[in-house]
Amino acid sequence: MTTLATPDTVILGIETSCDETAAAVVLGGNDILSSVVSSQIDIHARFGGVVPEVASRAHLESIIPVIQEAVHSAGIDPSRIDAVAATVGPGLIGALLVGVSAAKALALVWDKPFVGVNHMEAHLYAGLLDDPTLEFPLVVLLVSGGHTMLVEMIGHGTYRLLGRTIDDAAGEAYDKVARYLDLGYPGGPAIDAAAELGNPEAINFPRAMMHDGLNFSFSGLKTSVINYVRKNPDVSNIDVAASFQAAVVDVLVAKTIMAAQQVGAVGVVLGGGVAANSRLRAQLQSQGQLNGFRVAVPSRAMCTDNAAMIAAAAWHRLGSDGPTDMSVGANPNLALPVVA
Ligand code: KG4
Ligand code: ZN
């Protein structure tokens, strides 16, 4: 443990891995002084998905104002910032480069350490940011547009991969089904809203690999939805959305509880963009408690991409590993560091 990360350490975090330009100032690893997120959702909506080149350009336009606003609304003088952190991967290379370059430039100008952060590790910290009293071991269900994994947090920086999707990520399934049903972009929130109005028991879609270990599969479910709608063109979209969502959430919740039981976890935590889903939040809360686990369901703002989680993860990495060498660059395929 280095002495670089103390309760007084102030970290400026920067996140530009996908379609959110974000900056945040966090004190002592969990006291959020400011968190600013500029979303590009409207820019990408007309393309029906994130266009990498468009994302990079939008990050370039927003990065300076977003950082300025984060520092300003934190109510501190920039000289109070002890380290500058940025997501180095995984993500879109052109998008990552904007945040990494900005962070390194500020670190050099201010003569402060740079900390390169793994985006997936940062998502793991969202739960602890919301509730610092959580104790290890924890099982985190990390569900985003690109990833679906069950991770055991054994301690700070020590993770074990318990399960993952063998095909589509949960968010990807939401986005693809929403596109097919013409519900709008991004798909997750659109299905979430439509499902509120529909009957989750209307159609019994398959719960893939339900009793088959801790891995997930969502591509068969997506195909089932498409086949069902083709065969039943008059079915209501809201019932399809609600039934699809019920199938996804049933599997996610059952496997999270199973994982927590297997490793003897104290609590279960939700993370990633899909963790903003209403049904998933409600079901994990009730099923987790029913099975005797502490349940941490972070605020929606902490579940989706933000820079407060980047600064929080950076505080722990600065403490354990010290500053990141300036030669470390953006890596679009960066994996979560896990133990065997
Ligand atoms: O973590 P995230 O913000 O970005 C990365 O993929 O890293 O996750 C974005 C994903 C998208 O697939 C989006 O459709 C999904 O999270 N999502 C949701 C909801 N809000 C966002 N999925 C289901 N229900 C939601 N309310
Ligand atoms: Zn993310």
Euclidean distance between CA atoms 159 and 338, whole angstroms? 5
The per-residue pLDDT string of the chain (340 residues; one tens digit each, 9 = 90 and over) reads: 567 899 999 999 999 998 889 999 999 999 999 999 988 887 877 777 788 888 889 899 999 999 999 999 999 999 999 999 999 999 999 999 999 999 999 999 999 999 999 999 999 999 999 888 999 999 999 998 889 999 999 999 999 999 999 999 999 999 999 999 999 888 999 999 999 999 999 999 999 999 889 999 999 999 999 999 999 999 999 999 999 999 999 999 999 999 999 999 999 999 999 999 999 999 999 999 999 999 999 999 999 999 999 999 999 999 999 999 999 999 999 999 999 7
95 in Cβ contact with 62 (< 8 Å): no
246: part of which helix (H) or strand (E)?
helix 237-263
Ligand 2 centroid – CA 227 distance (Å): 30
Ligand 2 centroid – CA 162 distance (Å): 19
Ligand 1 centroid – CA 145 distance (Å): 5
Q: How many residues does the chain have?
A: 340
Phi, psi of 41 (to 5 degrees): -50, -45
Q: Which atom in ligand 1 lies closest to the alpha carbon of residue 278?
A: 26
User: Pocket around ligand 1: residues whose beta carbon is below 6 Å from it?
Assistant: 18, 144-146, 171, 174-175, 186-189, 192, 272-274, 276-277, 304-305
Strand runs labelled E in 45-131: 83-89, 114-118
SS3 25: strand
Q: Give domain limits for the chain.
A: 10-125+304-321, 133-302
Ligand 2 centroid – CA 285 distance (Å): 21
Q: Residue 240, Cα to own-chain centre: how many angstroms?
A: 26
User: What was the pLDDT predicted at 49?
Assistant: 78
**Nearest CA, atom 19, ligand 1:** 188
Architecture of the domain made up of 133-302: 2-Layer Sandwich (3.30)
User: What was the pLDDT predicted at 2?
Assistant: 60
Tokens read off for 250: 């049933």
Q: Do domains 10-125+304-321 and 133-302 have the same CATH topology?
A: yes
Q: 122, 163, 138: which is closest to 273 by C-alpha?
A: 122
Euclidean distance between CA atoms 50 and 197, whole angstroms? 28
Residues with Cβ within 8 Å of 167's Cβ and at least 6 positions away in sequence, in order, are: 217, 218, 219
48 in Cβ contact with 2 (< 8 Å): no
85 in Cβ contact with 314 (< 8 Å): yes
- Just give the CATH number of 10-125+304-321: 3.30.420.40
- Angle, nearest 10°, between helix axes 170-181 and 237-263? 170
Ligand 2 centroid – CA 177 distance (Å): 20
Euclidean distance between CA atoms 36 and 89, whole angstroms? 20
The DSSP 8-state label assigned to residue 216 in this structure reads B
Alpha helices in 75-118 (DSSP H): 93-110
Could you tell me which residues are beta bridge partners of residue 155?
A: 158
Mutate to test the pocket of ligand 1, among 16, 144, 270, 303 (most ligand atoms within 8 A of CB): 144
SS3 148: strand
Considering Cα of 219, then 89, then 23, then 4, what sign does the dihedral take? positive
